[in-house]
Amino acid sequence: MLILAFESTAKAASAALLKDGKLLSQYTQCSGLTHSRTLLPMGEDMLKNAELSLKDVDLLAVAHGPGSFTGVRIGVSMVKGLAWASDKPCVGVSTLEAMAWHGLAAGGLICPVMDARRNQVYNALFRIENGRPVRLTEDRPIALKDLAEELKAMGERVFLVGDGAELSFRTLTEQGIDCVLAPENLRMQDAWGVAMAAQDKEPGNADTLLPVYLRLSQAERERQERLAREESGK
């Protein structure tokens, strides 16, 4: 099975080709340009260099969140468009699950963390079993202090990945938790992890592919807070 996968939930964007579980190629770009300008051309160039085309692809995959609201929308919208145009199956993958694949070599307890601001992270916990990450918790926004309490109760060494790894490392080690910070080349999300996580997912189509937001956007939160203040002032 040939999978074309995309990741655009954070600052860097990437595309990957995976054939029968083996990485054929991956293209990553962190140029400061918007993902709407870089993501599709990366996929097109990668297919061309592999002497393949979209018609050769069996499954389209994308990280559908959590992450940057704009980045998630761009990635999901682009893959929906490709799936519609080519009549290909597609699947959305948790950003956190995709990152957990970076913990294969470390083994044990894997803790993907993405900075969600306001002293919170987007997080889920996984354990490496039989050469793959096995989910222990659902994706959730969680306060760092609450995550620290949960990990302390588990009493295991923790492998941290994600753009919130450094922030979490400082907080968790201060709480006496045994943490290992993933090296930079494994820390951030990429399309290889998306493709790996997509392999055993039930494929859908463009109609069923939707973004996953774990909480409201900042603009919506501020709007609700303003409305609540106005209501209480009446």
Spell out the per-residue pLDDT of the chain, length 234, in tens.
999 999 999 989 999 999 999 999 999 998 877 899 999 999 999 999 999 999 999 999 999 999 999 999 999 999 999 999 999 999 999 999 999 999 999 999 999 999 998 889 999 999 999 999 999 999 999 999 999 999 999 999 999 999 999 999 999 999 999 999 999 989 999 999 999 999 999 999 999 999 999 865 554 544 555 555 656 665
Beta strand 158-161 pairing with 179-181: parallel
The C-alpha torsion from 14 through 20 and 21 to 22, rounded to 10°, is -70
Q: What structural domains does the chain harbor? A: 2-96+189-222 (3.30.420.40), 102-187 (3.30.420.40)
Sheet holding 13-19, edge to edge: 22-29, 13-19, 2-7, 59-65, 90-94
Beta-carbon contacts of residue 217 (< 8 Å; ≥ 6 apart) = 69
CA 127, 133, 139: angle at the middle one, nearest 5?
A: 80
| Cα-Cα end-to-end distance for the chain | 61
- Which pLDDT belongs to residue 221? 47
8 A C-beta contact, residue 115 and residue 142:
no
At 225 the pLDDT is 53
Count the residues in the chain: 234
pLDDT at 214: 81
Q: pTM of the predicted model, to two decimals? A: 0.90
Q: What is the rounded (10 degree) CA torsion for 199, 200, 206, 212?
A: -100
In whole angstroms, what is the distance from residue 12 CA to residue 226 CA?
A: 33
